[in-house]
Amino acid sequence: MADAATLPHVGANDLKDMLTPATTALVVVDVQTDFASPEGLLGRVGTDLSSVPPALANIIALIATARKAGATLAFMRVVTSPKTDSNALKTLMARKGMPGGEAICRSDDGGADYHVVTAEPGDIQIDKLLYDSFHGTDLDAQLRARGIETLLITGFSTDCCVDQTARAAFHRDYHAFIVSDACAAYDDDLHVSALNILQKNCALLVASEAVLSAWAR
């Protein structure tokens, strides 16, 4: 079985100089009903969600520690309606034999709601239509207004929205870190492959324990 722990990770001793809370944002990507809850769309169609609870537990711990450390919290959500579905997405789903497969995280049925996590006043909250948290949003402007230089990225799924958000961050000159055990895919091999590609090209990998230790200091 694939194992993310075998990939290169930055240790806690080095992180303390890389994750300065005042210039770091903990980015929580798509922790939503349809992506993370058994009652959501993916759960209802039989997707294996067994990788979600361990990652979610680490996300919750990171959120609490980030607040205590004074880091910025930024929550991303996919929020859609039939009117906002792009032609490219609808056509892609139809050509894959999945017409209607784009109907996820609808704004009117609870699928787009946060799952377990809660944003607080003062946190950044971004609603997006697809995978990249920067595309068509004001995330970049909000981060720069707060002097953020480093993004610590968590959430679902590693191979999709986490991946594309990390790439977009790097292209915008942010220092991107992926918390390998605070994100997940619905297939272990996809999770590890995505992490491996990201660490080779545009991000550093960290474990949640290392982040908690670095910020505790």
Nearest to 205 by CA among 3, 5, 39, 33: 5
- Separation between Cα atoms, residue 117 and residue 26, nearest integer Å: 13
Number of domains in the chain: 1
Residues 6+ apart with CB under 8 A from 172: 134, 140
Q: Token digits for 40?
A: 């959501």
**Does residue 128 have an active-site annotation?**
yes
Instruction: Look at strands 175-184 and 124-128 and give their pairing.
Output: unpaired
Domain interval for residue 185: 4-216
- Separation between Cα atoms, residue 185 and residue 175, nearest integer Å: 23
Nearest to 165 by CA among 15, 22, 27: 27
Per-residue pLDDT tens digits for 193-210: 999 999 999 999 999 999
pLDDT at residue 98 in the model:
78
**Considering 34, 128, 132, 183, which one is annotated as catalytic?**
128
**Does residue 30 have an active-site annotation?**
yes
Taking residues 62-81, what's their average pLDDT?
97
Question: How many residues are recorded in the chain?
Answer: 217
Nearest to 111 by CA among 36, 49, 185: 36
Q: Residue 145 — φ and ψ, nearest 5°?
A: -65, -25
Task: Assign residue 30 the CATH number of its domain.
Answer: 3.40.50.850
- Separation between Cα atoms, residue 73 and residue 63, nearest integer Å: 7
- Separation between Cα atoms, residue 168 and residue 189, nearest integer Å: 23
**Does residue 161 have an active-site annotation?**
yes
Per-residue pLDDT tens digits for 126-180: 999 999 999 999 999 999 999 999 999 999 999 999 999 999 999 999 999 999 9
**Considering 34, 132, 160, 161, which one is annotated as catalytic?**
161
**Considering 30, 132, 159, 163, which one is annotated as catalytic?**
30
Per-residue pLDDT tens digits for 79-115: 999 898 899 988 998 898 877 766 889 998 999 999 9
DSSP state of 128: E
